[in-house]
A = this chain, B = another copy of it.
């Protein structure tokens, strides 16, 4: 039998995925599992988007342009302008989810052996896309004690080598919910400029910022316009994870030309997803406000509730719909598995994502979990109560 590729072996298997069979088994036993583990919003897709879906009157479901429909890209420019991001339709390449945008950015920008610096905990799949491109991620740990703020500039500079080609940030952050300050973004800008790096900036959660602090996009930073690659997706914004529509945006014309070659090879992004995404831009103010208000409430409810459980600590996330919390357990991987395999309280349990999957070093985040607040408040309330009971019962409790 021929061998698997080295990168095929190296690809990380997500610690969340490993728990899915345990969750399935718990459900088979009739246990209610509260899914705090995944960034799949439970909130409805906008009606205007579903209407567009039902009203598609094409008779041939044909290829769309490799960079996406121009009408959609034109309309997106107005959306971005509302965030003071000034781009033209030509600057925007529509991708199959934000995932493809990251992969194509890496393939087009990074040579095998090149390095990118990523503050961690970080979205686990960045690692997978880096491996796909043969590139190495050099992680800089941020800590729960400092609320997951940007590590200091000298820590970035200590990691910069001849092979360093870029910095990747996620802002607001998955998994921590952290929102980079103007000062932090300026620091990133200065490093990017000084070393002429790419700045890959994943900003798919910009709608979800809760503190009144300003949203500073990588696209707002002056003097590094040619270095910035914005990663975007409609998945979270409109509860449309399944339509697989994202975007790669850059003012760097040469880079766009290269990315387009990867886009042309895969022919086109999903046709129907684009029609839905374009319609979603007309989602009402009311829809967007309702969604926002819902997350604001859930966030307050969840974080208050977590910090009330003895031994649990969560910083207050400023954005997105996740938090990384510290639990009084020996090992969060073991605890999360135990919750699914060995524990239930009144027929209920919780499925959380062990934070180990978001760190590159096995030493880090061992007592942390990522919790997504994509459940309605009543369910969050039950989940919090179940979590408290689980911590009381867990044999590996540390305090």
Residues of chain A whose beta carbon lies under 8 Å from any beta carbon of chain B: 1-2, 4-9, 11-14, 17, 38, 40-45, 49-50, 53-54, 56, 58-64, 96-97, 99-100, 103, 107-112, 114, 125, 128-129, 132-134, 165-166, 196-198, 226-227, 239-244, 252, 254-255, 258-259, 261-262, 264-273, 276
Query: Which of the listed residues A7, A58, A134, A259 has the most CB atoms from chain B within 10 Å of its own CB?
Result: A7
> What B residues does A12 contact at CB under 8 A?
261
Assess the A266–B56 pair: CB atoms within 8 A: no
Given contacts A9-B258, A242-B272, A265-B11, contact A59 B44 (CB under 8 A): yes
Assess the A6–B254 pair: CB atoms within 8 A: no
A58 vs B241: C-alpha distance when bound (angstroms): 13
Assess the B265–A244 pair: CB atoms within 8 A: no
> What B residues does A62 contact at CB under 8 A?
40, 239, 241-242
> What B residues does A100 contact at CB under 8 A?
266
Assess the A258–B4 pair: CB atoms within 8 A: yes
Given contacts A132-B107, A272-B272, contact A42 B13 (CB under 8 A): no
> What B residues does A226 contact at CB under 8 A?
1
Partner among B5, B42, B110 whose Cβ is within 8 Å of the Cβ of A5 = B110
Assess the A241–B267 pair: CB atoms within 8 A: yes
Given contacts A241-B63, A270-B243, contact A261 B11 (CB under 8 A): yes
Residue in B closest to A269 when the chains form the complex, CB atoms: B244
> What B residues does A272 contact at CB under 8 A?
53, 242-243, 270, 272-273, 276
| Sampled A-B contacts (5; CB under 8 Å) | A4-B108, A44-B60, A64-B242, A107-B132, A244-B269
Within the oligomer, what is the number of copies of this chain? Answer: 2
Assess the B2–A227 pair: CB atoms within 8 A: yes
Given contacts A4-B258, A6-B111, A272-B272, contact A132 B14 (CB under 8 A): no
Assess the A271–B243 pair: CB atoms within 8 A: yes
> What B residues does A63 contact at CB under 8 A?
38, 40, 241-242
- 11 extra A-B contacts, CB within 8 A, seeds A40-B63, A243-B270: A4-B254, A5-B109, A8-B108, A11-B265, A61-B243, A63-B242, A96-B266, A100-B266, A125-B265, A129-B265, A242-B270
Closest CB in chain B relative to A351 CB, distance in Å: 15
Residue in B closest to A7 when the chains form the complex, CB atoms: B107
Closest CB in chain B relative to A20 CB, distance in Å: 9
Partner among B132, B242, B265 whose Cβ is within 8 Å of the Cβ of A61 = B242
Closest CB in chain B relative to A79 CB, distance in Å: 19
Residue in B closest to A10 when the chains form the complex, CB atoms: B261
Partner among B14, B49, B244 whose Cβ is within 8 Å of the Cβ of A268 = B244
Query: Which of the listed residues A58, A63, A64 has the most CB atoms from chain B within 10 Å of its own CB?
Result: A63
Closest CB in chain B relative to A304 CB, distance in Å: 27
> What B residues does A252 contact at CB under 8 A?
1
A8 vs B272: C-alpha distance when bound (angstroms): 28
Assess the A267–B60 pair: CB atoms within 8 A: no
Assess the B17–A45 pair: CB atoms within 8 A: no
Given contacts A40-B63, A53-B53, A60-B41, contact A262 B11 (CB under 8 A): yes
Assess the A242–B268 pair: CB atoms within 8 A: yes
> What B residues does A270 contact at CB under 8 A?
96, 242-244, 270, 272-273
